[in-house]
């Protein structure tokens, strides 16, 4: 799925701004057809943003069900003969969209885009209206998985229910990424798939272009331009390979982006459609002990992150995102994981540009919170959840396949992979992911005991989350090295794969000090990280360290969370804790 960009044949109109917003408290919006006429009694709501923290009303923050967004727009007269699309960057977790009262799209999955051709429902010369109903419910058919818990007792008001979530981040909802109108010609470039390779000094770009529309284009023109704008390779078919002599590779920390330009051209050389896609030439391979980018061992240094900030919640914010990339560079990180859901396309574009390596994760999180009960049963994980998970993998890969920064897909975080039922579930997910993208390694992020894991053989890299001396042996830093070394070695020996530590860390209150260290102090976080690092440095099959978390983030309320999860190396406002300076020292030193 191509990102909407401007070109000489395409226009983009961003509908970000203040929309009209209404909570559907009595679940009447669909019944009363709120999409047919302008919404009444609305409040202001920014798009993109989560709606939860915008008002002073806790019932809006904690609402379960539908909310309605609406705004009007004009279609320029010059768009009359164009294909007019509307595209929602994401609406969490499911949405239905109407334009001028006509349903144009319905989408399930809160972190990926959807779009609709609205050429036949919009009018030039009058105001058009877009209405989007967004639903935030998580249940046993959704990813993340969740449950609506209903109370039927005298201690709760009649009909009382709560949204149970089984993951450790606030269930922010709303329109989190921009809504855009864009045009294409009627015959248009529908998709481009690029796979790159290296042949000696040269780079290869294998391409596959999909064109759609009522007629076939007369000619296809493909050109590859370097960063100075020089044409370095050409093509003239829908499918082929461009060879770039003496290629400049896309390397971690040293990104080089060519522009892959596709044009649909008439015999008279008139350009009917054109699309420019940044492309980085690089390869990715995995051995039993190393992760190779361009044939060289790559050691992941960085974080599990979140899209999370004060007030806007998970809403796209360029200022925060640029700040985060600056902090990644400042601290010497070379990578991050999009824990626990696909991040915005805008963030991935920055990673491509800045040479930051990304492990892209699906929103399959929370498959482990039934404690003693089995998770992989039809009651807890409905067959529809697997179907949805497969669909999410497909949408994610279709959206993100061309990003050089993404080097691996993570299909899930912390599932109960010791259960027998987990095998068939993740076999289906792994097979689907490989069939969608045979070019990237795949992983599943685990916290299972290595002796019991039933699924790691389906994947290429062992990714482990562990909290010794935090959730287990709390306060006992001295156990870390022994426990970690035994466990990580077991993972490697049993599955003969490289091992990456995808989460380790400690909640830390910025400004709280204690020597000797106690839990929650800045000293404890530093000491905990150092113990881990000593183990990583003695094991040659460890391919990376991602501290949990880049910054403090919002969670649901609970007795273990004081104003959210405080495992950030930076505060939620992006100020460094002592651990940031420790990591900066470690990561700026070349190792391995
Ligand atoms: C891990 C989860 C992560 C949590 C973290 C924690 O993968 O989402 O935030 O624990 O408890 O199990 O801090």
| DSSP conformation letters of 125-190 | TS-EEEEEEEE----TTSSS-EEEEE--STTS-TT-EEEEE-SSS----EEEEEEEEEEE-SSEEE
pLDDT band at 537 (very low <50, low <70, confident <90, very high): very high
Pairing status of strand 114-117 against strand 83-92: antiparallel
Atom 6 in ligand 1: residue holding the nearest Cα? 168
Instruction: Of 162, 273, 257, 167, give the one whose Cα is nearest residue 211.
Output: 273
Integer Cα distance of 250 and 452 in angstroms: 39
**Gap from CA of 170 to ligand 1 centroid (Å):** 12
Q: Which residues pair with 274 in a beta bridge?
A: 263
Q: What value does the mean pLDDT take over residues 364-378?
A: 83
| pTM above threshold 0.85 | yes
pLDDT at 374 over 90: no
Q: Is 552 in the pocket of ligand 1 (CB under 6 A)?
A: no
Q: Is 460 in the pocket of ligand 1 (CB under 6 A)?
A: no
pLDDT band at 293 (very low <50, low <70, confident <90, very high): very high
pLDDT at 590 over 70: no
Q: Is 66 in the pocket of ligand 1 (CB under 6 A)?
A: no
**266-284: pLDDT as tens digits:** 999 999 999 999 999 999 9
pLDDT at 351 over 80: yes
Q: Is 413 in the pocket of ligand 1 (CB under 6 A)?
A: yes
Q: Is 308 in the pocket of ligand 1 (CB under 6 A)?
A: no
Residues 115, 487, 503, 522: which is the catalytic one? 503
The reply to whether 530 belongs to the active site is: no
Q: What value does the mean pLDDT take over residues 98-119?
A: 98
Q: Which residues pair with 105 in a beta bridge?
A: 97
Phi, psi of 585 (to 5 degrees): -65, -45
Q: Is 567 in the pocket of ligand 1 (CB under 6 A)?
A: yes
Atom 11 in ligand 1: residue holding the nearest Cα? 168
Q: How far apart are the first and last CA of the chain?
A: 38
Integer Cα distance of 408 and 286 in angstroms: 10
Please give the pLDDT value at position 592: 54
Tokens of 213: 């529309």
pLDDT band at 217 (very low <50, low <70, confident <90, very high): confident
Q: Is 168 in the pocket of ligand 1 (CB under 6 A)?
A: yes
Q: What value does the mean pLDDT take over residues 519-546?
A: 98
Please give the distance of CA 254 from its chain centroid, rounded to a whole number. 23
**Gap from CA of 557 to ligand 1 centroid (Å):** 15
Sorted by where each starts, the structural domains of the chain and their CATH numbers stand as: 12-136+171-184 (2.60.120.260), 188-279 (2.60.40.10), 297-587 (3.20.20.80)
Q: What is the DSSP letter of 124?
A: B
Residues 414, 419, 487, 545: which is the catalytic one? 414
Tell whether the torsion through CA atoms of 285, 289, 295 and 296 is positive or negative.
positive
Rounded to 10°, the helix 318-331/578-587 angle is: 60
pLDDT at 372 over 70: no
- In the three-class reduction of DSSP (H, G, I as helix; E, B as strand; rest coil), residue 224 is classed as strand
Q: What value does the mean pLDDT take over residues 224-233?
A: 98
pLDDT at 501 over 90: yes
The reply to whether 414 belongs to the active site is: yes
Instruction: Of 288, 395, 407, give the one whose Cα is nearest residue 355.
Output: 407
pLDDT band at 591 (very low <50, low <70, confident <90, very high): low
Q: What value does the mean pLDDT take over residues 244-267?
A: 97
The pLDDT > 90 percentage for the chain reads 96
Give the residue, out of 503, 556, 572, with the most ligand 1 atoms within 8 A of its beta carbon, to mutate for a pocket test: 503
């Amino acid at each position: 799925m191509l990102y909407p960009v401007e070109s000489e044949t395409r226009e983009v109109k961003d509908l970000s701004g203040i929309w009209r917003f209404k909570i559907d408290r009595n679940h009447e919006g669909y019944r009363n057809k709120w999409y047919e006429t302008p919404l009444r009694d609305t409040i202001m709501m920014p798009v993109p943003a989560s709606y939860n923290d915008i008002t002073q009303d806790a019932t809006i923050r904690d609402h379960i069900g539908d909310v309605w967004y609406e705004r009007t727009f004009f279609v320029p007269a010059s768009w009359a003969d164009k294909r007019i699309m509307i595209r929602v960057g994401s609406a969490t977790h499911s949405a239905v969209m109407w334009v001028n009262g006509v349903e144009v799209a319905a989408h399930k999955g809160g972190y990926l885009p959807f779009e609709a051709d609205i050429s036949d429902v919009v009018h030039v010369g009058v105001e058009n209206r877009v209405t989007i109903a967004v639903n935030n419910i998580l249940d046993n058919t959704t990813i993340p998985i969740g449950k609506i818990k209903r109370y039927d007792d005298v201690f709760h008001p009649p009909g009382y229910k709560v949204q149970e979530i089984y993951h450790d981040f606030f269930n922010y909802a709303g329109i989190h990424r921009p809504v855009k109108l864009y045009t294409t010609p009627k015959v248009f470039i529908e998709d481009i798939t690029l796979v790159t390779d290296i042949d000696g000094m040269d780079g290869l770009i294998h391409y596959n272009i999909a064109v759609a529309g009522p007629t076939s284009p007369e000619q296809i023109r493909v050109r590859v331009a370097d960063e100075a704008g020089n044409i370095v390779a050409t093509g003239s078919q829908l499918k082929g390979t461009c060879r770039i002599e003496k290629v400049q590779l896309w390397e971690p920390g040293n990104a080089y982006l060519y522009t892959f330009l596709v044009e649909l051209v008439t015999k008279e050389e008139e350009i009917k459609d054109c699309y420019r896609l940044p492309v980085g030439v690089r390869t990715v391979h995995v051995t039993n002990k190393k992760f190779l980018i361009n044939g060289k061992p790559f050691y992941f240094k960085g974080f599990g992150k979140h899209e999370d900030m004060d007030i806007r919640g998970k809403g796209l914010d360029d200022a925060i995102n640029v700040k985060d990339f600056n902090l990644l560079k400042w601290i010497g990180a070379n990578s991050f994981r999009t824990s626990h859901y696909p991040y915005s396309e805008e963030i991935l574009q920055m990673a491509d540009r800045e040479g930051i390596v990304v492990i892209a994760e699906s929103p399959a999180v929370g498959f482990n919170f039934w404690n003693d009960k089995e998770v992989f049963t039809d009651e807890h994980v409905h067959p529809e959840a697997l179907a949805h998970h497969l669909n999410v993998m497909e949408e994610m890969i279709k959206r993100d396949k061309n990003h050089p920064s993404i080097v691996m897909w993570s299909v899930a975080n912390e599932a109960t992979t010791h259960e027998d039922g987990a095998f068939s579930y993740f076999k289906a997910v792994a097979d689907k992911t490989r069939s969608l993208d045979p070019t990237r390694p795949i992983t599943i992020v685990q916290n299972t005991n290595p002796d019991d894991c039933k699924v790691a053989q389906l994947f290429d890299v062992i990714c482990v989350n562990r909290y010794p001396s935090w959730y287990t042996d709390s306060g006992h830093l001295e156990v870390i090295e022994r426990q970690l070394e035994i466990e990580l070695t077991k993972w490697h020996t049993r599955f003969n794969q490289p091992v990456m530590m995808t989460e380790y860390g400690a909640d830390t209150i910025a400004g709280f000090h204690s020597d000797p260290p106690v839990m929650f102090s800045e000293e404890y976080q530093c000491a905990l990280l150092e113990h881990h690092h000593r183990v990583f440095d003695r094991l040659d099959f460890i391919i990376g360290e991602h501290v949990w978390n880049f910054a403090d983030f919002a969670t649901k309320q609970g007795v273990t969370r004081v104003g959210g999860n405080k495992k950030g190396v930076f505060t939620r406002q992006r100020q460094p804790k002592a651990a940031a300076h420790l990591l900066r020292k470690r990561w700026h030193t070349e190792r391995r």
